Amino acid sequence: MENGLTDAPQLYFAHAHEDREVARPLAERLMKHGVDVWFDQWEIKIGDSLRRKMESGLSTCTHFLVLLTPQSTGKPWVETEIDAGFQKSVGREARFIGIRVGVPIQRLSPFLQTIRCPEVDLANEDQITSLIAEIHGATTKPSLGAPPAFVRKAATTGRWSDAATVVAEYLVRNSELGVKFDPQTNPAKVSCATGLPEEDARFGVLDLRDAGLIEETNETNGDSFWPTNALFVEFDSHFLGFNTERDAISVAHRLVNEKVRKVDINELAQRLDWPPRRINSALHFLQEKRLIEPVHSIGSRPYAMAQLFVTDYTRRFARDNN
């Protein structure tokens, strides 16, 4: 390890003497690709102390590689080197790498069977390239991307499951007017649009149905469902550009300040200059909290109701939210 490449991986190569003809080409390949290899034939000269030379190589190595072959497995000297490499690994001073050539995993010691010792074909360019990349710390692990939308939403809505939140967001964003039955869909469509697994979409539907926020078809083998008005009260503020409760307070204040008993929703929308989607959300809030008396009629679209009556509950709500 005297080539001057101080930033290069310093690899101690353990093998049996009988394996030198196999090990040497691999050691040369590693050297050509920036891995500084301690290889006994290169490091130990005539008259050198084997123990001192090996200890010197082990003391500076960042990687310990052992070639496990039918010849090396179980050899006392190789086992001694493995023990030393293992101690370096335990102390986090070096990374232990074992590669098998012609040795089944069952022939390895119990210790070696517990660590990654892949079978390697030394004539396979791709496998050797992968080994070199691994020694250099390269990885085939892809970069970390953002979590899917159906996972990110849970923090937005607090108490709802990821699946329920995704289903609710789909309904909120795909509702033109924000009224019951708008839209009508099924778990497969939600899954296709959001990436949420269909089974999870069905579980999300269960959560929302049990809370009274959606209704499902009664048709045999049917799986269609749609929002109730309460769903928009619960989720509109999370996914749309307005605050449903604050808008409901604004509507209540206007009604109380104008001292009206009954108001036409079309006229109210013109005075507020809000689109139907926004005013419907506020009206749903007032209705769900029983703060108004709604008047529904067939011709009320695009609004959730045709008229409403102001009540003492409306006036108290306005006073309590000054």
Mean pLDDT of the chain: 90
- Amino acid identity for residue 88 in this structure: K
The whole-number pLDDT of residue 151 equals 53
CA distance 35 to 40: 15
10-135 homologous superfamily: Toll/interleukin-1 receptor homology (TIR) domain (3.40.50.10140)
Q: Where are the domains of the chain?
A: 10-135, 149-237, 241-320
State pLDDT tens for residues 218-272: 998 889 999 999 999 999 999 998 999 999 999 999 999 999 899 999 999 999 9
Q: What is each CA distance from 161 to 173, 194, 237, 256, in whole angstroms?
A: 18, 15, 17, 38
- The CATH number given to 241-320 is 1.10.10.10
Residue 117 is classified by DSSP as -
CA distance 53 to 63: 17
Beta-bridge mates of residue 307: 264, 295
Would you say the CATH fold of 241-320 matches that of 149-237?
yes
State pLDDT tens for residues 118-168: 999 999 999 999 999 999 988 777 877 766 655 555 445 568 998 999 999
Q: Is the pLDDT of residue 298 over 90?
A: no
For 46-101, the DSSP string reads TT--HHHHHHHHHHH-SEEEEEE-TTTTT-HHHHHHHHHHHHHHHTTSSEEEEEES
User: 156 and 165 in contact (C-beta within 8 Å)?
Assistant: yes
Give the least confident one: 72-76, 258-262, 287-291: 72-76
At the second CATH level, the architecture of 149-237 is Orthogonal Bundle (1.10)
